[in-house]
Amino acid sequence: MTGLPTAGVGPEVSVDLLVIGAGPTGLYGAYYAGFRGLSVAVADALPEVGGQIAALYPEKLIYDVAGFPAVRGQDLVDRLAEQAGRWEPTYLLGHGVVRLDDTGEGILAVTDAGARITARAVLVCGGIGNFIPRELPVGSEYLGRGLRYFVPRLDELSGQDVVVVGGGDSALDWALSLEPIAASVTLVHRRTRFRAHERSVEQVHASSVRVLTPYEVEKISGDGSVSEVAVASTDGGRIVLPAQSVVAALGFIADLGPIEQWGLRLRRRRILVDPTMRTSRERVFAAGDIADYDGKVSLISIGFGEAALAVNHIAALLDPACSITPGHSSDA
């Protein structure tokens, strides 16, 4: 996603609402805040908008978003960013918020890249928090030179020999998505059984993807960038594969990170909220997967509703003359 109004490193930003997290819920919250007449900044530790969908499942079809019989993950992110763009939110990408300080009239948020955002209210849409990829035990020196943990744009690997490592849904999704455009795709998994959905496993075995199990990556080599991958089986067999890209899809470690230090009531590693999405801290709200309450169901569609609910109550909080009920958007 390009063309977003992005703030630079270490800026001073002042807005009505700071949205923390640029995943689907955060993007919809940014749109809805603009619709309610609020100025908005969106901060995210990742370098692109879209959160987990853009980082992990950009090519995967999503079937439970209202109005879309099926929508590709990246297409949904692009449409949400386009929708929010009508109100020109300021994006601080690559800015993880590490601190929230009360100012008396609002919140001062400080990021790990040196930005300072003064906001009258905060909406936390942090998904599952920080998610750090589990590292491949070998070849770390090739990170960014053929080794990668995310595939935000499949066409970057077009025409290449690709080795995908892992046995979960993301590994098989990437293998299947790359099959039509890559010169070759080899899926390497250290077990004979896969953790992925059975339908995906069947599709991989019916495709041209070469499946090697039980194998592990023994060595990655190349002059400057990846050119081949050696894999070894548990019975001592060894195969050297040509490869210009290695996609390591070994899962992720979820971590709330600095959120745990923000003085918010937590339950099950999520932020507790009341029926208005308000947290235990004044002027701080939460929505999406990061928010928790009795009867919570984690779905993208519910996250959209939670974001709208939170923003409507934030609008009334910031301006008591403002109604919680916004009226129909078609009348705007």
Q: Give binding residues for FAD as ranges.
A: 25, 44, 52, 57, 97, 131, 289, 330
Q: Which amino acid is at 174?
A: W
Cβ–Cβ < 8 Å for 22, 93: yes
With 0-12 / 13-18 / 19 or more C-beta atoms within 10 angstroms meaning exposed / middle / buried, residue 199 is exposed
CA distances from 274 to 271, 281, 306 (A): 10, 11, 11
Orientation of helix 24-35 relative to helix 300-318, angle to 10°: 40
Q: Which residues does the annotation place in the binding site? A: 25, 44, 52, 57, 97, 131, 289, 330
Tokens linked to 171: 């590994």
Rounded CA separation 271/280 (Å): 9
User: How many angstroms separate the first and last alpha carbons of the chain?
Assistant: 28
> Contact, 186 vs 213, CB < 8 A?
no
SS (H, E, C) 128-178: CCEEEECCCCCCHHHECCCEECCCCCHHHHCCCEEEEECCCHHHHHHHHHH
Distance CA 116, CA 12 (A): 5
